[in-house]
Structure 1
């Protein structure tokens, strides 16, 4: 497994508060990683920095085989490099069908003429069917996205990200508001997605993380407090003290 993304010595302050403090982190491809930590630990800022939404004050972030620096790249340039992000609240086009949502997300040439002369191809149709299968929405393809349950909207959004063929997928609290059955299916979806790419899951639900069965990174006060298997980090006295014991 080769290193896909590496952050080293990254810090960022907001009004004198260090949200991220000399953080170093790396993830390989393919790999599934969970990020946990108390509120204010820097989990969202960590994702904001990777996606270019927040610029760090210091440190470096390198990406891919050529160790390209992501610093100084715009959010859209970083997205084109193959980094996709799913926010906590699902953002799908509710007035469009599931099929149309996936079609809009497919990785196609994005020039002005490409969009103008967009043709439905068999390849695109097959790809949509395959993604719908992956996210458990094959039967829902003709339905309006607005009619889906909360959990199904989350899956559709994961599908829209997969349609862009990212190499790194950042997923924020996917289990929030889901039924136990939906949570189980989401676990399966993320584990499968991580067989061919890097997937980072930020989550509070410890049971959900345990089922992911992956390496866990614990953030606290903007730095890595512990890293390892779920059993390793949950038995760490410092982690119990700052996070689990509360």
Structure 2
């Protein structure tokens, strides 16, 4: 594995409040990484910084083999470079079918020669992505009638259709049934075999099923990193995030 994303000494303040405080972390390719932490820990700001929605006050964010400086790129340039983001609330075209949503999201051909020589069947490619996210039987359904979990899958599929190298996913398990969470776990694990996938999540059981490296953020800093069992045994993580048994009983 090699580092795809390198965040080094990044700080971001809002009206004097440090949302991110001298944060450093790296994400490999391929890798599945979970980021957890209490509310206000800086998880959303971290994603905003990586995707160019917010600019850091200091520090560097490097991406890819050429160590491109993401802080010097626009949101559109970052997306074209292969970084995709899924927000908490699914955003799909509800009046369009699943197939139409996925077809619209497909990555554009790399160059004009591909168009002339390969002429890929976009519907077939979209159908293949639908199968990846468990929607192969729902291709002709309008997105608006899908369940909440299926809409989440469709949006993940729309991002996968863009062929990202780094996929940022914000609380994918929120509002899902147990069966949907299991399917989502398998989907993310599979996706991370060929790319970097970073999952922001509060559901600890969902994180446990991912069986991946975990980074704990607190007050904009990396507090602990390692397996879930490792970080959950860290006294600092227990104090600021998990709480002690006697506190939970109070």
Give the TM-score range, shorter chain: over 0.9
1:204 CA displacement: 0.2
Partner Cα distance (1:26, 1:184) in 2:
27
**Where does residue 98 of structure 1 map in the other structure?**
98
**Where does residue 134 of structure 1 map in the other structure?**
132
1:178 pairs with 173, 176, 186, which one?
Answer: 176
**Where does residue 169 of structure 1 map in the other structure?**
167
Partner Cα distance (2:100, 2:127) in 1:
12
Alignment of 1:140-219 (within 5 A): 140-219=138-217
Please report the TM-score for the alignment, with normalisation by the length of structure 2. Answer: 0.93
**Where does residue 23 of structure 2 map in the other structure?**
23
**Where does residue 54 of structure 1 map in the other structure?**
54
Partner Cα distance (1:172, 1:41) in 2:
14
Partner Cα distance (2:30, 2:199) in 1:
14
For each residue in 1:200-222, what CA deviation from the matched residue of structure 2 results, as whole angstroms up to 9, or x when unmatched?
00000000000000000000000
Q: Once superposed, what is the RMSD of the aligned Cα atoms?
A: 1.7
**Where does residue 247 of structure 2 map in the other structure?**
none
| SS state at 2:95 partner | coil
| SS state at 1:139 partner | coil
Where in structure 2 are there 5+ consecutive unaligned residues? 113-118, 244-249
**Where does residue 13 of structure 1 map in the other structure?**
13
**Where does residue 34 of structure 2 map in the other structure?**
34
**Where does residue 2 of structure 2 map in the other structure?**
2
